[in-house]
Amino acid sequence: MNILIGAVLAGLLAQVVHDDLRRYVIRNGVVLALLALFAVDMAVRASWPDVVQHVLFGGAVFALLLACYALGAMGGGDVKLLSVAFLWFGLWCAGAFATALLIVTILYSGLGALGVAPVRRTPKGMVIPFGPSIAVAWAATHFLLC
């Protein structure tokens, strides 16, 4: 069952990368599928205290990211995707995921500045699609670190 969950997760994260690179959109259906897959994963391998911890932590992260969205610092799709990612990782793997996300985002930004990775140029500066960085960091954390 864990292999099947991992395969579905990899496919959904690949869809995030594809959609965000092409249209700067993270589709609600993909985020909802990731949320449903979380529920399946928790049902297979977690105890109720673990589920509660993940949900409380994910909710707290969502509230923080919602404030960032309200300030115009993040897009709505990024908020939803990151919230579900932190829900998956919970408190114990959040640091590993955040570190991987920082590294991947810096690398993507550098490649974007060099013209190698797709970016948008605006009067305010360079805008990168954040979904690919989230997806790559999520995959690296899930499959390699936690």
Retrieve residue 115's tokens.
């013209």
Would you give per-residue pLDDT tens digits along the chain (146 residues)? 789 999 999 999 999 999 999 999 999 999 999 999 999 999 998 888 999 999 999 999 999 999 999 999 899 999 999 999 999 999 999 999 999 999 999 999 999 999 999 998 888 888 899 999 999 999 999 999 98
Residue ranges of alpha helices (H) inside 1-146 are 2-23, 28-45, 48-70, 76-113, 131-140
Residue 83: what residue type?
S
- Of 141, 146, 48, 52, the C-alpha closest to 97 is 141
> Distance between CA 77 and CA 126 in Å, rounded?
18
Kindly give the interhelix angle for 28-45 and 2-23, rounded to the nearest 10 degrees: 160
> Are 61 and 82 within 8 A, CB to CB?
yes
List Cα–Cα distances, 146 to 37, 79, 84, 88, 142, in angstroms: 17, 22, 16, 11, 5
Phi, psi values for residue 73, rounded to 5°: -85, -15
Q: pTM to 2 decimals? A: 0.94
